[in-house]
A and B are shown apart, each in its own frame.
Chain A
């Protein structure tokens, strides 16, 4: 399933199967043990293996995909009275000490999900991967077939994760390319997930080639994000942004800590005129929180950035890195702020990943950390149920354990109602997309028609039913007017209708899951044309998975160290 609203010309083809999970198997030819992709294809269940001796192999393991799926989900039900761990499945993770790929038992323990690993060199380890086993198991039922790029930059040879770039075994195209345009930064964040060396700003000509390569691979992109380092540290940042503003790209997002934005009106005005979206890191509201997470008191700087955003009406995504015991008590506050201003289109919670220059060494307990369900519980509790636990659903675009989201419909009085209060998302999976807003596609129009009729039929039972119907009428009028709209105007029209709250859990050495990487759709495009799935890049290529000076994997490739595309 394509996850963007892009009007793809030519269209990106769907994958020929629906990728579900990884499983242990043996090569059908030589019986060598290996890890298989479990896929649903033509109503059957097939294991796809890449045998190091025999090459690509496959084996049908079940004749009825629906039955198999039911049986698979049933494995996640803990037998009554069981004491101890319940084994749900297996996957491949990493040893948190030596970063070697190791088999992981995925077990349910007291309604939570853990990886149990045993590295031959370093010994056993455990890691919490989800604070809600029911959510974790059910998430697999949301899996949908991915879409592949027009061009793969690599061919699968050794198997995941060594062939990244992406290879033709990868299960999703690039939904969100994040280009790191500089390794300079004006902060030293204790939770930084990259590894700034203060050595390079990307040349505009290089960035141009990266963007050209992206468009070549994707056809069109809903969004491109410029990151760093701190991208506003780049002396030619406006030139780069101008390069990214092209018809094939719907939104250009500048991910920033907001320090320069809050005090440089000239820059902010230029961003406004170029139609740039802001991705503002906002992890809290107090000096203590900022100091613990970002290394210094940023209260005034964040307030200045927020004021500039409001004054210039800059469309903005708020990004909140949630850390247990540090800023999780301010989750509700950021939700309330997000709901209060029309400039805030989406709110992205990222349960902290303990990787990178800062994050790799940030004090933490891998068995007691925030995961997606934990953040959602805080949202529910701290907003008094305004946005509730059951309003969120796994996003089928990426691996369903990676992202959870809810859309909130904007009512005519400016307040918002979560779509889940009046939409059955399990039925209308089309509405669960990766974009920050509902895209104006024929599929969404069709799904909206269903939603409208269902609300129409039950308007007396649904809280604020008539107001929701009026808002849905506005959605139709503005998103699907009786005149052609450019892709950019479609985005603008969509953005006026709804907001979204995302939770994206990037992986680290504790909870790394190879099957999640397999369908990753947040990618770092590189200067050699490779498009690297984010968590794989952070784990094996950046050289900071455990903090500074972490040895790279043998196949690792450092950022900025590669030849320019020719």
Chain B
């Protein structure tokens, strides 16, 4: 069987580290040209590109915030001009922050919601033009189990991830007529990324309820994302797919 994303052009937000890097590598392995943005970590971004190229893939890194509307618009235009299309968008940019509501600053709330939700909105708006024009697109939003189930998770993080589920479902209805699917992949705890910063005992509590009795691997979430981002997932739309080992 051919690669899942052969000939496709993908844009991944927050691709320099963690799950974002895994998504970039997986999409590149599956044949896509991968462009990703990042905010701060130049070396990590370069390492992601290097890893992809070392494996025979193609990628480009772009230092632009997901909250920089003009920057995203320019980036989308340049990718469109270079490749003639953008087939895949993965709204992955985000971060974790463990803080109880009682101590949460307004700025904590705003930054969390902005990065996850407004960032997804701006990135999608920048890329959607080419997808509508081409009558094809795959948008995958990276949610979280914390946005779906009642868990011990920071309120602003859970709120932001839950918002992405609504974003997914509504946008799927809105743009489905143009051959664009919009789905959400909601991982449970993975072995790297935001779980690195969990308080003691939180991971053990998770494992007690997880049928798989282990946390997930980044590659397991990334593989699901690559499939949902492929042509083969053509009838899956507006869905939230949980990758949690059955919690």
For the complex, count residues of A whose C-beta is within 8 A of B.
8
Complexed CA–CA distance, A449 and B177 (Å):
11
The answer to whether the Cβ of B175 comes within 8 Å of any Cβ in the partner chain is: yes
Min Cβ gap A139→B in Å is 28
B132 on the A face (CB < 8 A): yes
Q: Are B128 and A456 in contact (CB under 8 A)?
A: yes
Asked whether, in the complex, the Cβ of B130 is within 8 Å of the Cβ of A457, the reply is yes
Q: How far is the CB of A242 from chain B (nearest CB, A)?
A: 45
Q: Tell me if B178 is interfacial: C-beta within 8 Å of chain A.
A: yes
Distance of B126 from chain A, by nearest CB (Å): 11
How far in angstroms is the closest Cβ of chain B from A20?
29
Q: Considering residues A449, A453, A456, A459, which has the most beta carbons from chain B within 10 angstroms of its beta carbon?
A: A453
Interface centre among A454, A457, A459 (most CB of B within 10 A): A457
* Chain B interface, >50% SS class: helix
| Chain A proximity of B72: nearest CB distance (Å) | 15
A109 and B129 alpha carbons, distance in the complex (Å): 46
Q: Is A421 an interface residue (CB 8 A)?
A: no
Does A458 make an interface contact (CB < 8 A)? yes
Contact in complex: B177, A457 (CB < 8 Å): no
Residues on A with C-beta less than 8 A from B174 are: 449
Q: A449–B173 Cα gap in the complex (Å)?
A: 12
Which secondary structure dominates where chain A touches chain B? Answer: helix
Residue A368 CB within 8 A of the other chain? no
Shortest distance between the CB of A465 and any CB in chain B (Å): 11
* A203 close to chain B: CB less than 8 A: no
Q: Mark B165-184, 1 if CB is under 8 A from A, else 0.
A: 00000000011011000000
Task: Check if B197 is an interface residue, CB within 8 A of chain A.
Answer: no
B232 at the interface (CB under 8 A from A): no
Q: Which of B129, B177, B178 contacts A459 (CB 8 A)?
A: B129
- CA A457 to CA B126, docked complex, whole Å: 10
B194 shortest CB reach to chain A, Å: 34
CB distance from A37 to the nearest CB of B (A): 35
Q: Once the chains are docked, how many angstroms separate the CA of A457 from the CA of B158? A: 33
For residue A426, CB closer than 8 A to chain B, the reply is no
CB distance from B130 to the nearest CB of A (A): 7
Could you say which residues of chain A place their CB within 8 Å of the CB of B128? 456-457
Is A443 interfacial (CB-CB < 8 Å)? Answer: no
Judge if A477 is at the interface, Cβ distance under 8 Å.
Answer: no
Chain A contacts with B in 444-500, Cβ cutoff 8 A: 449-450, 453-454, 456-459
Chain A residues, Cβ within 8 Å of B130? 457
Task: For residue A518, give the distance in angstroms from its CB to the closest CB of chain B.
Answer: 35
Q: How far is the CA of A1 from the CA of B133 in the complex (A)?
A: 29
Chain B contacts for A456, CB-based, 8 A: 128-129, 132
Chain A residues whose C-beta falls within 8 Å of the C-beta of B132 in the assembled complex? 453-454, 456-457
Give the contacts of B176-207 with A (CB-CB under 8 A): 177-178
Closest to A458 in B: B133
A457 smallest CB distance to B (angstroms): 4
B residues in contact with A449, CB < 8 Å: 174
Chain A residues whose CB sits within 8 angstroms of the CB of B177 once the complex forms: 450
Contacts of A457 in B (CB 8 A): 128-130, 132-133
Residues of chain B within 8 A of A458, CB atoms compared: 133
How far is it, in angstroms, between the C-alpha of A453 and the C-alpha of B134 when the chains are bound? 12
**A456, B132: Cα distance in complex, Å:** 8
Q: Which residues of chain B are within 8 angstroms of A454 by Cβ–Cβ distance?
A: 132
CB proximity of A125 to chain B, nearest CB, Å? 52
C-alpha spacing A381/B167, complex, angstroms = 49
B121 to chain A minimum Cβ distance, whole angstroms, is 14
> Which residue on chain B has the smallest CB distance to residue A452?
B132
Q: A388–B130 Cα gap in the complex (Å)?
A: 29
Query: Whose C-beta in chain B lies nearest to the C-beta of A453?
Result: B132
0/1 interface trace, chain B 130-141, chain A, CB 8 Å (1 if under): 101100000000
A residues within 8 A CB of B133?
457-458
Across the two chains, which residue of chain A brings its CB closest to B180? A453
> In whole angstroms, what is the CA distance A403 to B16 when docked?
60
Q: Which residues of B contact A450 (CB under 8 A)?
A: 177
A180 nearest CB across to chain B (Å) = 46
CB distance from A444 to the nearest CB of B (A): 16
Interface hits, B111-147 → A, CB 8 Å: 128-130, 132-133
Which chain A residue has the least Cβ–Cβ distance from B134? A457
Chain A's closest residue to B80 (CB) is: A460
Query: Nearest Cβ distance between residue A455 and chain B, in whole angstroms?
Result: 10
Residue of B nearest to A456 (CB): B129
Give the distance in Å from the alpha carbon of A336 to the alpha carbon of B178 in the complex. Answer: 38
> What is the CA–CA distance of A324 and B130 in the complex, to the nearest angstrom?
48
Within 8 A of A (CB), among B92-115: none
Cβ of A539 to closest chain B Cβ, rounded Å: 46
How many Å lie between the Cα of A456 and that of B133 in the bound state? 9
Q: With A and B bound together, what is the CA distance between A458 and B133 in angstroms?
A: 7
Which chain A residue lies CB-closest to B177?
A450
CA distance A196 to B130 in the complex (A): 61
Write the nearest CB–CB distance from A134 to chain B, whole angstroms.
Answer: 29
What separation, in Å, do the CA atoms of A457 and B128 have in the docked complex? 8
Which residues from chain B contact A459 at a C-beta distance below 8 Å?
Answer: 129
In the complex, what distance in Å separates the CA atom of A392 from the CA atom of B94? 50
Whole-angstrom CA separation of A458 from B174 in the bound complex = 18
Q: What is the CB-to-nearest-CB distance from A462 to chain B, in angstroms, rounded to a whole number?
A: 12
Query: When chains A and B are docked, how far (Å) is the Cα of A459 from the Cα of B133?
Result: 11
- How long is the Cα–Cα vector from A454 to B132 in the complex, in angstroms? 7
Cβ-closest chain B residue relative to A450: B177
Per the bound structure, the CA–CA distance linking A26 and B98 in Å amounts to 85
State the CA gap A204–B56 with chains docked (Å). 86
- The CA of A453 and the CA of B174, in the complex, are separated in Å by 10
| Alpha-carbon distance A449/B174, docked complex (angstroms) | 9
Please report the C-alpha to C-alpha distance between residue A74 and residue B129 in the assembled complex, in whole angstroms: 37
Chain A residues within 8 Å of B178, by CB: 453
Q: How far is the CA of A456 from the CA of B130 in the complex (A)?
A: 9
Q: Which B residues are CB-close (under 8 A) to A453?
A: 132, 175, 178
Closest residue of chain A to B133 (Cβ to Cβ) is A457
Q: Complex formed: what's the CA distance from A454 to B131 in Å? A: 11
Nearest Cβ distance between residue B81 and chain A, in whole angstroms?
Answer: 11
Residue of A nearest to B130 (CB): A457
Cα(A450)–Cα(B130), bound, Å:
15
**Cα distance, A449 to B132, chains bound together (Å):** 12
B120 to A: closest C-beta gap in Å: 18
Q: Which residue of A lies closest to B175 (CB)?
A: A453
Per CB-CB distance, the 5 closest pairs between chain A and chain B, nearest first, are A457-B132, A457-B133, A457-B129, A453-B132, A456-B129
14 A-B residue pairs with Cβ-Cβ distance under 8 Å, sorted by A, are A449-B174, A450-B177, A453-B175, A454-B132, A456-B128, A456-B129, A456-B132, A457-B128, A457-B129, A457-B130, A457-B132, A457-B133, A458-B133, A459-B129
Other than the given A453-B132, A457-B129, A459-B129, 10 more pairs (CB < 8 A) read: A449-B174, A450-B177, A453-B178, A454-B132, A456-B128, A456-B129, A457-B128, A457-B132, A457-B133, A458-B133
Binding site for A on B (CB under 8 A): 128-130, 132-133, 174-175, 177-178
Q: Which of A's residues lie within 8 Å of B, judged by CB? A: 449-450, 453-454, 456-459
